[in-house]
Amino acid sequence: MDVSHLLDALNAEQRQAVCGEHGHYLVLAGAGSGKTRVLVHRIAWLLEVDRVSPFAVLAVTFTNKAAGEMRARCEQLLDVPSRGLWVGTFHGIAHRLLRLHFREAGLPENFQIIDSDDQLRLIRRILRDQSVDEGMFPPRQMQWAINHHKENGRRAEDVDPGDNRRDQQTLAVYAEYERQCRRSGLADFAELLLRSHELWLEQPALLAHYQERFRHLLVDEFQDTNTIQYAWLRVLAGDSASVFVVGDDDQSIYGWRGARVEHVQKFQQDFANTHLVRLEQNYRSTSNILTAANALIANNPDRLGKNLWTEETGGDKVKIYAAYNEHDEAEFVIARIQEWLDEGQRADDSAILYRSHAQSRVFEEALLRRDIPYRVYGGLRFYERAEVKDSLGYLRLTVNRDDDAAFERVVNTPTRGIGERTVGMVRHQANADNSSLWQAAQKLITSQTMNGRARNALAGFLSLIDALEHDLVDKDLGDQLQFAIEASGLIEHYEKEPAEKAQTRRENMAELINAGRYFKPGEDQAELPELSAFLAHAALEAGEGQAAQWEDCVQMMTLHSAKGLEFPLVFLAGLEDGVFPHERSLESSDRLQEERRLCYVGITRARQHLYLSFAETRRMHGRDHRRQASRFLSELPMDVVEEIRPRIAVSRPGLGYQQPAPDIGDLGLGDAVSHHRFGVGVVLDCEGMGPSTRIQVHFEDHGAKWLVLSHASLERL
DNA sequence: AACACCGCGTTTTTT
DNA sequence: ACGCGGTGTT
């Protein structure tokens, strides 16, 4: 058989992983070493050479994007049909299992998925109903605690309440939250994993079935697995499946949301006779960039050890720019991008990366001034927008009347005279009966305990939903969405908002209808009614944040969202201690190491040109901060970096880039000053050196002004 | 029910 | 600085 198409493009180590005998594999794959390629080729090898049935293969990733990419690449590479092959996210696959075995899992057939926003609302509601002090127990912390328990496989009743008041309160809320989810047929994200894990433990026959079926489990980005995902994998693997995991401990950047790098080490103990393969040849970056990355990450202890190398020698040095402030930094970056564009290069081959979203603004302003198109990643995603969730809320109720999250959301949106009092009565009744809000509302209407007006309004809402369900029968998905949006009154509701806002709302609702028209259920949802499949899709796959992807524009994103991407020209901005590494990560060594890995991820995004920059002064949260250059800069070897515009007293790497503050005499930021023309003001900022030193003063009567210090004749007050 | 005001938090993000 | 959410006013 000709297997050359599976092996030709691979190096020796990659081949070792792709065509090795069956068994467990731990592939430590450095950045840019062809990790996804290896995974996809392994699948192709199993199917085409080893003649493994596609039904025996399960490939898992973390994001929908990665899953989609893997599926597409498989289909492209494979000659044999891939029907039956399961490729998906942990959550997607858990969801599929629960739909198939909802009875055994103790879920209603039409259970719905709630996103973190719905979850938070539910928790807020519970805190109020139980009159828990939200100051003492912030809802977000409660949410985190509940998810943390679930991610560690713990139900409320499994946890020892102990004698800590705080833990007890948390547990009480957790228990109530579980109760409400059960009664309304709702599952949050963590629930999908926990429930399907329990399903296997409690239904040995079912587990045996899947263990017999899936002889080959493959996992991408293995370093990102959390406790329940790892447990899930172990249970499914049993004693006989072959488990093939690919990951990079140096790119573990999600510890703060439960990912455990330790699983990489643990894997070798838990899965006997694991073949260890290291992919260290990098096909992305020049050697100067790689040398910088290697040197940086070498400062982390406890690594499994890996050194990237490349056949590409030399290349540009890594440029470091010391900016006066964030505006200077942005100007510098944009000027380099302008040069890049002037060379005829593509804008979308360049990326500005930063630690936190707030840093994007200054760059956006600078790009706008120069009319350079850009795209900022992150932000509200399509299916998370209020008008979209409202529209879907109506449809969710037609599918499952007990969906309390949807009920709460749309019962009085648009306003239809069902105020807080009325909804309060419904909640009270539901809690008393342990029923859903819908059932409680029905009961209240028939029992005549409500005054006429509220009762009519509530009854009107219930019949609206009933009628809606009736009217949706036999319509196709797009028409169903359109009908629901029109019947709900949401269009008129949003028309009352300011024109510009109403416009985007309209567009989004139109886009939702459009999404319905083009929706094609995946193979894994073929069993579901179309509407249910669409609702699950909306919850599990929230969609891109911004459109206009196809336009050629400068890419801007956080370092976290840059993982997995690559660009010829990369700017890593805000390299100051306190910004990056983030100040909240400075106290613990573990967190600092994760920040360093994040920096490593950032550096290894660059193919040819890498600029690192920091600002001596940066305005954040309305205050000025004067910070040291990031410690990460001093960890880079001198011979691969080049300082741009080196200035007097720039220290050598190793001592940090300590800069003397611009000399503004005896003035300091925040000082009150008086000016002969502008009157009294406060010093906000300063920049520049020597005679060009400028100072920014916010005057009470004239606003903020930049003044050249030597001409300003300011008087300190 | 719509609107104004006040106080708080503010790293990273996917499902 | 800024936006969001909760509270209070008309």
* Helices A477-488 & A530-540 angle (0-180, nearest 10): 70
| Nucleic strand C near CB of residue A357 (< 7 Å) | no
As a rounded value in angstroms, the CA-to-C1' distance for A135 and B7 is: 12
A653 pLDDT higher than 90? no
Question: Checking DSSP bridges between strand A703-708 and strand A694-699, what pairing results, if any?
Answer: antiparallel
Looking at every residue in chain A, the average pLDDT score rounds to: 89
Residues A675-689 pLDDT 10s: 777 777 766 555 555
Looking across all nucleic acid strands, the nucleotide with the smallest C1' to CA distance from residue A621 is C1
Active-site residue identified among A96, A215, A605, A607:
A605
Counting Cβ atoms within 10 Å, is residue A253 exposed (0-12), middle (13-18) or buried (19+)? buried
Which bases of strand B sit closer than 7 A to a protein CB? 1-2, 9-15
A669 pLDDT higher than 80? no
* Helices A165-184 & A116-129 angle (0-180, nearest 10): 120
Q: How far is CA A240 from CA A11, A217, A595, in A?
A: 29, 11, 38
Looking across all nucleic acid strands, the nucleotide with the smallest C1' to CA distance from residue A582 is B11
Residues A407-460 pLDDT 10s: 999 999 898 888 888 898 999 999 999 999 999 999 999 987 888 888 999 999
Both tokens of A64, joined, read 């929908």
Averaged pLDDT, A267-293: 95
Looking across all nucleic acid strands, the nucleotide with the smallest C1' to CA distance from residue A92 is B15
Which range has the worst mean pLDDT, A9-13, A14-18, A582-586, A670-674? Answer: A670-674
Counting Cβ atoms within 10 Å, is residue A262 exposed (0-12), middle (13-18) or buried (19+)? middle
Residues A491-534 pLDDT 10s: 988 888 878 788 888 989 999 999 999 998 877 777 789 999 99
Residue A628 falls in the annotated catalytic set: no
A671 pLDDT higher than 70? no
Which bases of strand C sit closer than 7 A to a protein CB? 1-2, 6
More confident residue, A8 or A343: A343
Q: How confident is the model at residue A187 (pLDDT cuts 50, 70, 90)?
A: very high
A711 pLDDT higher than 70? no
As a rounded value in angstroms, the CA-to-C1' distance for A325 and B13 is: 28
Question: Checking DSSP bridges between strand A672-675 and strand A679-687, what pairing results, if any?
Answer: antiparallel
More confident residue, A465 or A420: A465
Both tokens of A277, joined, read 């393969």
As a rounded value in angstroms, the CA-to-C1' distance for A69 and B10 is: 35
Chain A residues 173-232, Cβ below 7 A from strand B: 189-190
pTM: 0.87
Averaged pLDDT, A53-77: 93
Residue A705 falls in the annotated catalytic set: no
| Nucleic strand C near CB of residue A124 (< 7 Å) | yes
Active-site residue identified among A35, A278, A455, A618:
A35
Active-site residue identified among A13, A188, A220, A685:
A220
pLDDT at A399: 95
Averaged pLDDT, A474-481: 95
Residue A220 falls in the annotated catalytic set: yes
The rounded Cα A443 to chain-centroid distance in angstroms is 42
Chain A residues 611-650, Cβ below 7 A from strand B: 621
| Nucleic strand C near CB of residue A621 (< 7 Å) | yes
As a rounded value in angstroms, the CA-to-C1' distance for A606 and C9 is: 56
pLDDT at A343: 96
Rounded CA separation A217/A223 (Å): 16
Looking across all nucleic acid strands, the nucleotide with the smallest C1' to CA distance from residue A94 is B15
Residue A605 falls in the annotated catalytic set: yes
A703 pLDDT higher than 70? no
Which range has the worst mean pLDDT, A163-167, A179-183, A387-391, A455-459? Answer: A163-167
A468 pLDDT higher than 50? yes
| Nucleic strand B near CB of residue A557 (< 7 Å) | yes
Counting Cβ atoms within 10 Å, is residue A715 exposed (0-12), middle (13-18) or buried (19+)? exposed
Contact A23/A35 with Cβ under 8 angstroms?
A: no
As a rounded value in angstroms, the CA-to-C1' distance for A22 and C2 is: 57
pLDDT at A556: 95
Active-site residue identified among A118, A151, A188, A221:
A221
Contact A192/A98 with Cβ under 8 angstroms?
A: yes
Contact A402/A184 with Cβ under 8 angstroms?
A: yes
Report the number of secondary-structure helices (H) and strands (E) in chain A.
27, 21
As a rounded value in angstroms, the CA-to-C1' distance for A135 and B4 is: 24
As a rounded value in angstroms, the CA-to-C1' distance for A308 and C5 is: 48
As a rounded value in angstroms, the CA-to-C1' distance for A430 and B4 is: 34
Closest protein CA to C1' of nucleotide B1, residue: A415
More confident residue, A644 or A691: A644
Highest mean pLDDT among A128-137, A679-688, A696-705: A128-137
Closest protein CA to C1' of nucleotide B9, residue: A621
Which range has the worst mean pLDDT, A26-30, A677-681, A699-703? Answer: A699-703
As a rounded value in angstroms, the CA-to-C1' distance for A179 and B6 is: 36
As a rounded value in angstroms, the CA-to-C1' distance for A125 and C5 is: 14
The rounded Cα A610 to chain-centroid distance in angstroms is 25
Rounded CA separation A230/A246 (Å): 14
| Nucleic strand C near CB of residue A622 (< 7 Å) | yes
Residue A497 falls in the annotated catalytic set: no
Contact A27/A17 with Cβ under 8 angstroms?
A: yes
Averaged pLDDT, A220-234: 96
Closest protein CA to C1' of nucleotide B8, residue: A135
Which of A100, A111, A86, A117 minimizes the C-alpha distance to A191? A111
pLDDT at A664: 63
Which of A414, A411, A382, A412 minimizes the C-alpha distance to A397? A411
A378 pLDDT higher than 90? no
| Residue showing tokens 């350079």 | A372
Averaged pLDDT, A161-165: 84
Counting Cβ atoms within 10 Å, is residue A475 exposed (0-12), middle (13-18) or buried (19+)? middle
A661 pLDDT higher than 50? no
Query: For the residues of A173-194, what is the DSSP string, one character each?
Result: HHHHHHHHHHHHTEE-HHHHHH
Residue A115 falls in the annotated catalytic set: no
Q: How far is CA A365 from CA A135, A376, A550, in A?
A: 37, 12, 22
Closest protein CA to C1' of nucleotide B11, residue: A356
Contact A619/A361 with Cβ under 8 angstroms?
A: no
As a rounded value in angstroms, the CA-to-C1' distance for A25 and B6 is: 58
3-state secondary structure A680-713: EEEEEEEECCHHHCEEEEEECCCEEEEEEHHHHC
The rounded Cα A401 to chain-centroid distance in angstroms is 31
| Nucleic strand B near CB of residue A415 (< 7 Å) | yes
Averaged pLDDT, A72-95: 90
Residues A542-566 pLDDT 10s: 877 655 556 899 999 999 999 999 9
Which of A257, A217, A261, A247 minimizes the C-alpha distance to A235? A217
Chain A residues 72-111, Cβ below 7 A from strand B: 89, 91-92
Active-site residue identified among A36, A345, A608, A628:
A36
Residue A31 carries which DSSP code?
T
Looking across all nucleic acid strands, the nucleotide with the smallest C1' to CA distance from residue A95 is B15
As a rounded value in angstroms, the CA-to-C1' distance for A138 and C5 is: 13
